[in-house]
Structure 1
Amino acid sequence: MDLSKNTPENIEYLIGQITEKLRMVNTAAMRAESINNEMYEELVEIYEMVMKKEHFSPGEMQALVEEIGRLRKV
């Protein structure tokens, strides 16, 4: 998969991988179609950071959710 391309499929993949890694239960707030495609680079950065870490504190998880929320369409 070529994540350098800003496609709906890649956005869906990134969100899916992030929510799976964080073991998020409420994924409705992080639907791929709600992400602003102009913020793709930031989403890739979040994805890369999440994939590098093994464990997350509750505070880190909250910060990540807030950051992804910032990427949503207005």
Structure 2
Amino acid sequence: MDLSTTSRENIEYMIEEIKTKLQIVNAGALNAKSFDTDQYEDLRDIYEMIMSKQSFSVSELDAIVSELGKMRKR
């Protein structure tokens, strides 16, 4: 997948991968439609950081989920 291009499909892909990697139980809380394409670069940065790590502490998970929550459309 070429994530260098901003697209809805790439956002959906990244969100699905994030949910899988973080084993998010309430998957409905992270819906790709809740993210605007103008936040693409920030989302991609978070995605790349998550994919580069093997595991996460509880505080890291809280921070990631909090940041994703701030990025969601209201």
Structure 2 SS opposite 1:15:
helix
> Shift of the alpha carbon at 1:64?
0.3
**Alignment partners' CA distance in 1, 2:2 and 2:73:** 23
Which residue pairs with 1:24 in the alignment? 24
With structure 2 as the length reference, what TM-score do the two structures score?
0.94
**Alignment partners' CA distance in 2, 1:11 and 1:65:** 16
**Gap regions ≥5 residues in structure 2:** none
With structure 1 as the length reference, what TM-score do the two structures score?
0.94
Q: Percent identity?
A: 49
- One-letter code of the match for 1:58? V
Which residue pairs with 1:64 in the alignment? 64
**Gap regions ≥5 residues in structure 1:** none
> Shift of the alpha carbon at 1:13?
0.3
Q: When the two structures are aligned, how many residues end up with a matched partner?
A: 74
**Alignment partners' CA distance in 2, 1:21 and 1:65:** 12
Which residue pairs with 1:11 in the alignment? 11
For residues 17-67 of structure 1, what are the alpha-carbon distances to aligned partners after superposition, in whole Å with 9 as ceiling and x for unaligned?
A: 011000111111110000121100000000000001101111110100011
Which residue pairs with 2:73 in the alignment? 73
